[in-house]
Amino acid sequence: MNFRSLYRLNLQFINAGGKVKYLLRLPSLSKTLKLLKKNQEIISNRKHDTIYICGLGPSLADVDLDKLVDKEADTLVVNHFFKMADQTNLKPTYYLMADAGFMKPKHIAAFNKAIEMYKDTTFIWNSSFQTVKPNVVNFDCKKNFLAMYNGYYIDSKKIDITKVMPAFGNVICAAIAFAIGAGYKKVVLLGCDFNSFAFPHEIHCYDGGKDNKAARRISLDFELFCYCFDASVHIRLAEYAKTLGVEIINSTRGSLIDAYPMNIDESLYRN
């Protein structure tokens, strides 16, 4: 057995674990599917064919997000984007929070802050939020849910946001999967640097970007381990998008994601 076959075995093992999770959640499946059925409204009412996905990599600090406001396109932001609110007038179409950890006490304040700041944005939440906080479905904001626990996205297969999908790795993988499932024909990536492992400290577009000296929360060995799986998901998503004629463009300066064609739109950057 070589390292490549061992890696493939790891993927199969993770996929199997997801299938077990799916079976364990079968008793609540009907409730989940009822939530997911609402996603058909996103597919049917989508106004544009292009969507910009904004990750939180340090390069996003160099993007003039206001230039996205008047484009004939939708926008999707993730996680702690609300920390960028004082730097842009952009009101995103979607705000994706895919990490179940947002329901933990130490993160709930950030969760509530995002809701408070983006009243007209449609939030896309992990369906597992309702298992931790059942009343989350009644929160006073626009909201839809994604269920991502039916195995792992190890093959280039159909993405249906009205059904329980596989897990996609990190939040950007999930965002791209959502965009494909929602029917967008062109997906443009900004702030998707994919390089946090290359720095000895925390690195995001907010809180100082490359100059931020906050301690690393994840050890380098584990982060690299996770990154290899995320990179694999990007490859599978690129393959699936190609079969649908969906164009995914990486317009992130310095991005290490190599699954999609790189085409930097310099007009969006400040310098």
DSSP symbols for 61-125: GGB-GGGGTTSSSEEEEETTGGGGGGG-----SEEEE--GGGGSTTTHHHHHHHHHH-TTSEEEE
Asked if residues 93 and 122 have their Cβ atoms less than 8 Å apart, the reply is yes
Q: What pLDDT does residue 197 have?
A: 85
Within a domain: 119: yes
Residue listed under structure tokens 């059925």? 37
Q: Does the pLDDT of residue 10 top 90, yes or no? A: no
CATH code where residue 240 lies:
3.90.1480
Please check the confidence at residue 266 and state whether its pLDDT lies above 60: yes
Is residue 211 situated within a structural domain? no
Query: Is 209 a domain residue?
Result: no
Report percent pLDDT > 70 for the chain.
Answer: 97
Q: How confident is the model at residue 210 (pLDDT cuts 50, 70, 90)?
A: low
Using CA atoms, how far apart are residues 243 and 232, in angstroms rounded to an integer? 17
103 within a domain of the structure (yes/no): yes
Does 213 map to a domain?
no
What pLDDT is stored for residue 211 in this prediction? 61
CA distance 94 to 116: 14
Report the percentage of the chain scoring pLDDT > 90: 61
Q: Give residue 258's domain range.
A: 3-193+219-268
* Phi and psi angles of residue 104, each rounded to the nearest 5 degrees, phi first: -75, 150
Among 5-19, 23-37, 169-183, the least confident range: 5-19
Give Cα 78 to chain centroid, integer Å: 6
Token pair recorded at residue 193: 């640097």
Instruction: Output the pLDDT for position 208.
Output: 60
d(CA 232, CA 7): 10
Res 40: pLDDT: 97
Mean pLDDT of 185-197: 94
* Residues in the chain, overall count: 271
Q: What is the band of 144 on the pLDDT scale with cuts at 50, 70, 90?
A: very high
Q: Higher-confidence residue: 213 or 120?
A: 120
Q: Does 214 fall in a domain?
A: no
**Residue 149 placed within a domain:** yes
Residue type, 179: A
Distance CA(153)–CA(141), nearest Å, equals 30
CB 79 within 8 A of CB 217: no
Residues 263, 39: Cα–Cα separation, whole Å: 30
Residue 213 pLDDT? 62
How far is 267 from 71, CA to CA, in rounded Å?
13
Q: Count up the domains in the chain and report the number.
A: 1
Q: Helices 220-244 and 171-181, interaxial angle, to 10°?
A: 10
Q: Give 49's contacts (C-beta < 8 A, 6+ positions apart).
A: 184, 185, 186
- 137 near 35, Cβ under 8 Å? yes
pLDDT average, residue stretch 66-72:
93
pLDDT tier, 232 (very low <50, low <70, confident <90, very high otherwise): very high
pLDDT digits (tens, 9 = 90+) for 237-250: 999 999 999 999 99
**Is there a domain that residue 252 lies in?**
yes
pLDDT score at 5: 85
**Cα-atom radius of gyration of the chain, to the nearest Å?**
18
Q: What is the mean pLDDT of the chain?
A: 90
3-state SS class at 6:
helix
